[in-house]
Amino acid sequence: MPHTSLNPATNQVIQTYTSWNSSQLKQALEKTRHAQQAWAQTPFAMRAEVLRNAAMQLRAQRDRYAPLITQEMGKPLREARAEVEKCASVCDYYAQHGEEFMRAEPVESEASKSYVAYHPLGVVLAIMPWNFPFWQAFRAASPALMAGNALLLKHAPNVPQCALAIEAIFRECGLSDGVFTNLMIEVKQVAEAIASPHVHAVTLTGSEAAGRKVAACAGQHLKKCVLELGGSDPFIVLHDADLELTVDMAMASRFNNCGQSCIAAKRFIVVPQIADEFLHQLKTRVAVLRVGDPMDDTTQIGPMARADLRDELHRQVSESIAQGAVAVTGCQPAEGAGFFYQPSILDRVTADTRAWHEELFGPVAVIIRAASEADALRIANETRFGLGSSIWSRDTARAEQLAAQIEAGSTFVNGMVKSDPRLPFGGVKASGYGRELSHQGMHEFVNVKTVWIR
């Protein structure tokens, strides 16, 4: 089955690419392993130079790369530009700090000398999604490459042009041939890649279902695995929240990228004192969102990435309404070409509805009315997911106390959940395990080696 680049705003095919056969995959894996062994011997200064060159190229060619993102997965062009800029920032971050993160740590013992060394693990297979087609790949590649690993990119099949562009960026910026390789393979070939002796670890950002399959395969072959999976992030609005700020951030967190983000706010859990006013202000803002051509800089909501994703979202919404949720605005596919869905709000969502239990991966805000602050906390944790979370209150000391009780990989107080190269990123429960970014993310794919000398 070919990899197809299809414009979700028009439903028109841009280009198709032939998938590799088993022989092509095997040759690429062998080449990457040999290239990695040489790359691991290069000085940190050389690795940092490659990343700095990549950062400069990303910024200089931003208006070349951003349209690729928009045309393949539909996000508004202004958001695609921001994504490219963020990729440059993660390259700069590891170019600046990577050597420090890999520095050996002396440890006092009965030895005359003992320390913990960090060495590259080898070849990392990165299985990446379509929703942030540049950022997810650079987020995985930058620390791995700086550590001396090689990276194999198995990108989502609907963003092949983005995958090829990323490979070209690293090649043009001085990375040795084979150290970063885009695998034009199908999902069914992933198990073959994981099983290869030339692959030493796997990182996946994707669905819960994909995570289970990859983790099982990696476990079977005793390969290190990091999973960043779905989320149903709670956005807890307490009675003393700054409503202007809170609604502003609610809009950004739910509707950026057409709501197709694992760390988007998906469950707005609101206490009684403020629920009606919060809903009123949110509805007013949602009703005027501009839906349309994502190549137009005035567009705020582009299409969803695929028809099947839009159709499944609508099934979740329709069934939730049938189960008692209230459609406040939207809650229908948009008419015309492309995979558009109206910006929507579901109110009165209860435990009897699909929207309570499932991740809604699209432009739908779910309002859950809590009975109290304690009830809001209970609802926040009443999910199998645990990626991000946020609390909105003027009493930041109280909010910080509540943050410690939320079962998630991150909690933001009066701020929108986002990934930041300086901070570790990842989840708990069905949202996965392991961390990306910061020094913790870099150390996921190194050999933490004890050296002891008499």
pLDDT in tens, 140-194: 999 999 999 999 999 999 999 999 999 999 999 999 999 999 999 999 999 999 9
Element (H, E) at 427: none
Amino acid at 7: N
pLDDT average, residue stretch 310-326: 98
pLDDT average, residue stretch 69-89: 98
The two three-digit tokens of residue 221, written as one number? 């072959």
Asked if 173 is an active-site residue, the reply is: no
> What are the structural domains of the chain?
3-229+429-453 (3.40.605.10), 233-413 (3.40.309.10)
pLDDT average, residue stretch 14-43: 97
The two three-digit tokens of residue 135, written as one number? 């950022």
Element (H, E) at 332: none
Percent of the chain with pLDDT over 70: 100
Closest C-alpha among 292, 249, 257 to residue 81: 257
pLDDT average, residue stretch 84-102: 98
Catalytic pick among 262, 331, 358, 444: 262
Longest dimension (CA), the chain: 75
Contact 199, 32 (CB under 8 A): no
Contact 143, 434 (CB under 8 A): no
What is the DSSP annotation of 109-159? Answer: SSSSEEEEEEEE--EEEEE--SSSTTHHHHHHHHHHHHTT-EEEEE--TT-
SS3 319: helix
Closest C-alpha among 31, 134, 35 to residue 80: 134
State the number of CA atoms in the 13 A half-sphere of 428 facing the CB.
Answer: 10
The two three-digit tokens of residue 264, written as one number? 């988007």
Residues 6+ apart with CB under 8 A from 340: 9, 291, 301, 302, 303, 304, 310, 333, 334
Please tell me the distance from the alpha carbon of residue 210 to that of residue 4, in angstroms, as a whole number: 20
Over residues 433-449, the pLDDT tens digits come to: 999 999 999 999 999 99
pLDDT band for position 94 (50/70/90)?
very high
Please tell me the distance from the alpha carbon of residue 248 to that of residue 439, in angstroms, as a whole number: 32
Q: Which DSSP category does 13 fall into?
A: E
pLDDT value for 336: 87
Residue 3 has pLDDT above 80, yes or no: yes
pTM to 2 decimals?
0.97
Q: What is the CA radius of gyration of the chain?
A: 22
pLDDT average, residue stretch 287-300: 97
User: Helices 62-73 and 77-101: crossing angle, nearest 10°?
Assistant: 120
Asked if 228 is an active-site residue, the reply is: yes
Closest C-alpha among 276, 239, 274 to residue 402: 239
List, in sequence order, every beta strand (DSSP E) within 155-278: 180-182, 201-205, 224-228, 233-237, 265-270
Over residues 364-403, the pLDDT tens digits come to: 999 999 999 999 999 999 999 999 999 999 999 999 999 9
User: Helices 44-60 and 62-73: crossing angle, nearest 10°?
Assistant: 70
Contact 386, 430 (CB under 8 A): yes
Phi, psi for residue 123 in degrees, rounded to 5: -105, 125
State CA 213 to chain mean position distance: 18
Over residues 329-357, the pLDDT tens digits come to: 999 999 889 999 999 999 999 999 999 99
pLDDT value for 110: 97
Catalytic pick among 79, 83, 228, 436: 228
Over residues 233-265, the pLDDT tens digits come to: 999 999 999 999 999 999 999 999 999 999 999
pLDDT value for 206: 97
Element (H, E) at 211: helix 208-220
pLDDT value for 38: 98
* Tokens 């994703």 belong to residue: 309
Return mean pLDDT, the chain.
98
Strands 113-120 and 446-453: antiparallel
Closest C-alpha among 271, 198, 227, 232 to residue 361: 232
pLDDT value for 259: 98
The two three-digit tokens of residue 89, written as one number? 């920032």
Please tell me the distance from the alpha carbon of residue 339 to that of residue 363, in angstroms, as a whole number: 12
pLDDT value for 263: 98
Residues 6+ apart with CB under 8 A from 363: 254, 255, 258, 259, 301, 330, 341, 342, 343, 344
Please tell me the distance from the alpha carbon of residue 187 to that of residue 58, in angstroms, as a whole number: 29
Please tell me the distance from the alpha carbon of residue 283 to that of residue 330, in angstroms, as a whole number: 10
Residues 6+ apart with CB under 8 A from 24: none
pLDDT average, residue stretch 394-423: 98
* First-residue to last-residue Cα distance in the chain: 59
pLDDT band for position 2 (50/70/90)?
confident
Amino acid at 225: C
